[in-house]
Structure 1
Amino acid sequence: MSSTTVDSSALTDSPVLTDITDGIARIRLNRPHARNAVNLELCHALRRSFEELDADPNVRVVLLSAEGNAFCAGADLKERVDKDEHWVRQRRLASFAAYEAIERCRKPVVASTHGAVVGSGGEIAMACDFIIAARDTTFRFPEPHWGTVGATQRLQRVIGKRRAKELLFTNRLLGAEEAYALGLVTRLVEPGELSAVTAEVGRSIAGAPALAIELTKQAIDLGEETDLDRGIRIEMAAIERCLADGGWRDGVDRFNTSHSAHEGEQP
């Protein structure tokens, strides 16, 4: 795989920074002065970045992280001062569009979280395929306590309806260990290891056949929406695409080469 680097952020004060190296795209939320609180500009930038990466044939995986001491402190309520209901409605639609762009990306998207993950920050992380969290990560979903509604759909799909209700109703802090136990987080690491572990995960995914990874993601996501019988049909259709592509032969060759090498090792 060739090594290329692209920086789509000409200015360091851009709310979203993007670079691509060896098929691994790294997106960083870049409002550390506001603890990466989500404003309208960040929503538009996040959506645009993911749409561009989704269309880029050189991108194999996307790693989403954040600058500063917090992943995301939620919605930036300061920008709503003196705004009317129409503006707030449009702002919320912009955030939904950003989350959807993350979720619909055909490439695997891995969130790498640290510090506070609040409200909209949780939506961004949950829109990714899975979350690697530093042990100092905390989650909170305070939308009802801010007089609004949010996180009612993704959260319940990740941790279940009753647990989602409890977190939204109470606004209590959820530590990384409990988030892992609930399935919100798939892997916990020490804060100092977060970057290295996430990079290794990115390399592992990028090293796999791109079509097989894309179809695996698609089959899981579509299969979740139906019963097992239809899910098997979805998987079979994905298998047929892999067979038609012919790349599966390379996978067989790699397996046989690796298997032969291991057989030659002495215990």
Structure 2
Amino acid sequence: MDEEPVLVSTTGDIAHVVLNRPAVRNALNLPMCHGLREAFVRLDADPGVRVVLLRANGPAFCAGADLQERKDRDEAWVRSRRLASFAAYEAIERCAKPVVALVQGPVVGSGGEIAMSCDFVVAADDASFRFPEPHWGTVGATQRLQRVIGKRRAKEMLFTSRTMGVEEAFAVGLVARTVPAAELVAAGERLAATIAGAPGPAIALTKQAIDLGSETDLANGIRIEMAAIERSLADGGWRDGVRAFADGGARARENGAER
């Protein structure tokens, strides 16, 4: 029996979701799909959580779908298994809290789908990305990948099954930043603390406005942003931000005078 395939814990207002099948390089199986979906539905509803960090145990983030579990299965089972993975990705994507993926080592197939479902990716300098679905006789990553790196690059990656190094992944926008492998978790925790330090409603509205705006043209996107601004003004939390900015400026001037 596998150990719990997805571990969830919280430290203050930061939640940690950990892929936990290191013996098989965190290959995505049905229990992990269910575990991810349940974890993110629960965290989305938890008012005490401000940021979610998604990472993996072991040297690999995720080696893709666990093809071993498909032995002796029929087409109906494989279809339902794929729907379970789509439900997991969607739960990550729909989480109203910022979700940051911390990836290391190989990120393959479904592992890339998990990472791309997050708001952005921080990668260790030993990370690599590969999308071999067509070479495994199946179809996958055709939608998120093209939206992240562009249609032609997505085709090239899927048609060839080549490995993309972390430097190229950063250059094409698949990765937001890179850090030394030994510093990945600590860097993620610092980043999460920075995000959690911002006003929660403003971060949630910003995420929502970006996500909704990406689905329409600029004119409608501006309308979405204005609606978010109106909600922010009605909340009144913007006054705290103005006060914090003013207080910070005053302290900076005082420190300058002291020097």
Q: Normalised by the shorter chain, which TM-score bucket?
A: over 0.9
Equivalent position to 2:143, from 153, 171, 178: 153
Give deviations 1:132-189, integer Å, cap 9, x for gaps.
0001001000000000000000000000000000000000011000100110000010
Q: Over residues 25-79 of structure 1, what are the superposed CA-to-partner deviations in whole Å (9 max), with x where a residue is unaligned? A: 0000000011000000000000000000000011101000000110000000000
Match of 1:114? 104
Give runs of ≥4 in structure 1 deviating > 6 Å: none
Q: What is the one-letter code of the residue matched to 1:196?
A: A
Pick from 157, 179, 187 the counterpart of residue 197 of structure 1.
187
Q: Distance in 1 between matches of 2:152 and 2:218?
A: 25
Distance 1:60 1:201 in 2: 12
Hey, what's the Cα distance between the residues in 2 that align with 1:227 and 1:164?
A: 23
Q: TM-score, normalising length from structure 2?
A: 0.98
Alignment of 1:4-153 (within 5 A): 13-153=3-143
Which residue type is aligned with residue 59 of structure 2? N
- Matched with 1:212 is 202
Measured in 2, the distance between the counterparts of 1:160 and 1:95 equals: 23
Match of 1:262 among 243, 248, 252: 252
**Aligned residues with identical type, % of pairs:** 68
Counterpart amino acid of 1:265?
Answer: N
Quick one: which amino acid aligns to residue 76 of structure 1? Answer: D
Deviations 1:179-215 (A, max 9, x none): 0011000001001111111000000011111100000
Other structure's SS at 1:65 match:
strand
Instruction: Tell me the distance in 2 between the aligned counterparts of 1:196 and 1:20.
Output: 15
CA separation in 2, counterparts of 1:82 and 1:211?
Answer: 49
The number of equivalent residue pairs is 257
Q: Does residue 230 of the first structure (1) align with residue 220 of the second (2)?
A: yes
Structure 2, unaligned runs of 5 or more: none
SS of the equivalent of 1:265 reads helix
Q: TM-score, normalised by structure 1?
A: 0.95
Picking from 233, 236, 239, the partner of 1:249 is 239
Query: Hey, what does 2:168 align to over in structure 1?
Result: 178
Letter in 2 for 1:159: I
Q: 1:4 is matched with which residue?
A: none
Structure 1 unaligned runs (5+)?
A: 1-11
Q: Secondary structure at the match of 1:139?
A: strand
Q: Per-residue displacement from partner, 1:195-239 (whole Å, max 9, x unpaired)?
A: 111000000011111100000000000011111111111111111
CA distance in 2, matches of 1:237, 1:75: 40
